[in-house]
Amino acid sequence: MKTTLKLGLAMAVTMGLSGAALAQTKEIRVLLANHPYGEVLKAAIPQFEQQSGIKVNVESLQESQLTTKLTTEFATNSSSVDVFMTRPLQDGKLFAKNKWYEPLGGYDFSDYPANTVSIVTYDGQPNIVPLVTEWQVLFYRKDLLEAAGLKVPTNFDELTAAAEKLNTGGLAGFASRGKGAAAVTQLSTFVYNFGGNYLDKGVAVFDSKEAVDGIRYYGKLVGSYGPRGVTSMSWENILPLFQAGRIAMWTDASVFYGQLTDPAKSSLGADKIGIANVPAGPKANSPFYVTSWGIAMASQSKKKDLAKTFLEWATSKELAAKAMEANITMARTSVWEDKAVTAKVDPGLVETRAFVAKNGNPSDRPFMSAVGEARDLIGEIIIESINTKGESPQIDQMAKDRAVKVNTLLRDTGEYGQ
């Protein structure tokens, strides 16, 4: 008994000592994404190091690599990561289920919209601080719409009519992602606006009539008026085409607005490019409005105090205001209420955000652990729908079959019906 006590004491002392030794070096490892806000942080880190005396080892990774790297390091228990950027809707369920996030009980979440916090809350505690939000919008060519005598479409009927009228040989009337899994997020608004959903209380429901109507409509629109080869296009392919003046209207995430108007890449002037809310559907008018990026602490971190200091700084209001100037749409509510800040942000972004903040749907994909596989499965239906302009008789059957498969995935991870 005595020896055990002694041993325990000795261990406590050594551990305390090694803890002290670690604290002396004051070093943390941070993984960032190749994302504009990641760049903002990277640029400001030297300043943080000076103020705090904490040395920050930063790595920037492309988003899918970031997920892969974190997953492997955490799953094999070999991680030395302290703080990392994360995608709440892509990584969230999986990471939280495996308890890879450190719960952020002490953090002040009062400056964040309630729906952005609720989606990162697990077991009653938020796990991620939301950083960047994005929502779906309609980009359009003002000059072309005007020349055709068209108003900006406000519902799906007007959208179809406008796309049809604008669509000519060298110009695609309407574009949106067609590349299977990548298209799932952009399809979401269409599914919502037809009254459907991907999941409902942990059960796949994208085989409902409403959802299938949305998938068919998306396929009809993109298949009939989209650029050739659209089923292999994600935003990175569509953006240059829009910049080249080959596309009249495009629905995608708000973040691309800044790049669209970049004069180095586009022969169009910023004055020709408009931004508007996604048109309303027959049942709803609820575009996705999601937290695309957040930042979190690793539960495996051995330097949680230092990590917390970094996290507080990285999510500070000052940095958020600075990022807003670069048209990065931050999650904090206060920066959108600050006139001095919003004056520097594009008015189109301010207006569309005001709409989605009220009416948006906080998810743009099936929110589950095996989200990658689920997106691949739904992606198949999207491609079939686009290839047949929404006409294929198989779509209903495919949707049923893929819903069964997604339910299997949900059961595998114990999320079914939750």
Partner 1 sequence: MKAVGLRILFYLAVVLLALIVLLPFLWMLISSLKTQIDIVAWPPKFIFSPTLQNYYKVFGEQDFIRYFINSTIVAVFAVGVSLLLGLPAAYSIARFSQRRLAMVILLARLMPGISFLMPWYIIFSRLGLMDSYVALVLSHVLITLPIVVWIMSSYFETIPLELEESAMVDGASRHYIFLKIILPLSGPGIITATTLSFIFSWNNFLFSQVLSMEKTRTLPIAVFNFLSYADIDWGGVMAASVAIMAPALVLTMIFQRYVVSGLTMGAVKG
Partner 2 sequence: MTQNSYTDSNIRWIYPLPAILFVALLMVFPVLYTTYISLTNWTLTSGTAPSFIGLSNYGQVLLEPRFLQALWRTFVFTFSAVAVEAVLGVAAALLLNRVFVGRSVVKLLLLLPLVATPVAVGIVFNLFYDPTIGLANYVLESLGLPGSSWISHADTVLFSLVLVDVWQWTPMITLIVLAGLASLSDEPAEAARIDGANEWQIIRLITLPMVMPVIVTAVILRLIDALKTFDIIFAMTGGGPGYASETLNLIGYKYSFEYFRMGQAAVILMVLFLIVLACSVAITRLGKRIER
Which residues here bind partner 2, judged by CB under 8 A?
Answer: 68, 71-72, 75-76, 94, 97-99, 178-180, 227-233, 241, 244, 246, 369-370, 372-373, 376, 379-380, 383-384, 387, 412-413
Cβ atoms 251, 189 nearer than 8 A: yes
Which residues in 26-55 contact partner 1 (CB under 8 A)?
34
Q: Exactly one of 26, 42, 97, 246 binds partner 1 (CB under 8 A); which one?
A: 246
Name the minimum Å distance from CB 189 to partner 1: 21
Q: Exactly one of 43, 51, 59, 343 binds partner 1 (CB under 8 A); which one?
A: 59
Residue 248 binding: pick among partner 2, partner 1, none (C-beta 5-8 Å cut-off by kind):
none
Q: Exactly one of 170, 228, 339, 340 binds partner 1 (CB under 8 A); which one?
A: 170
Both structure tokens of 232: 């292999």
Residue 95 backbone dihedrals phi, psi, to 5 degrees = -65, -40
Residue 337 binding: pick among partner 1, partner 2, none (C-beta 5-8 Å cut-off by kind):
none
264 touches partner 1 (CB under 8 A): yes
Name the minimum Å distance from CB 299 to partner 2: 12
Rounded-to-integer distance, Cα 343 and Cα 328, Å: 14
Distances (CA, A) of 170 to 143, 147, 232, 315, 367: 16, 16, 19, 45, 38
Residues 6+ apart with CB under 8 A from 77: 300
40 or 191: whose CB is closer to partner 1?
40
Residue 380 binding: pick among partner 1, partner 2, none (C-beta 5-8 Å cut-off by kind):
partner 2
Residue 364 backbone dihedrals phi, psi, to 5 degrees = -125, 15
Q: Exactly one of 24, 50, 76, 110 binds partner 1 (CB under 8 A); which one?
A: 76
CB atoms within 10 A of CB 164: 13
Rounded-to-integer distance, Cα 74 and Cα 66, Å: 12
Rounded-to-integer distance, Cα 325 and Cα 314, Å: 16
Q: Exactly one of 18, 47, 72, 394 binds partner 1 (CB under 8 A); which one?
A: 72
C-alpha distance across the termini of the chain, in Å: 47
Residue 232 binding: pick among partner 1, partner 2, none (C-beta 5-8 Å cut-off by kind):
partner 2
What angle is formed at CA 142 by the lines to CA 139 and CA 146, rounded to 5 degrees? Answer: 135
Name the minimum Å distance from CB 384 to partner 2: 8
Nearest CA among 349, 355, 352, 362 for reference residue 290: 362
62 touches partner 1 (CB under 8 A): yes
Residues that bind partner 1 (CB under 8 A): 34, 59-62, 64-65, 69, 72-73, 76, 78, 170, 235-237, 239-241, 243-244, 246, 256, 259, 264-267
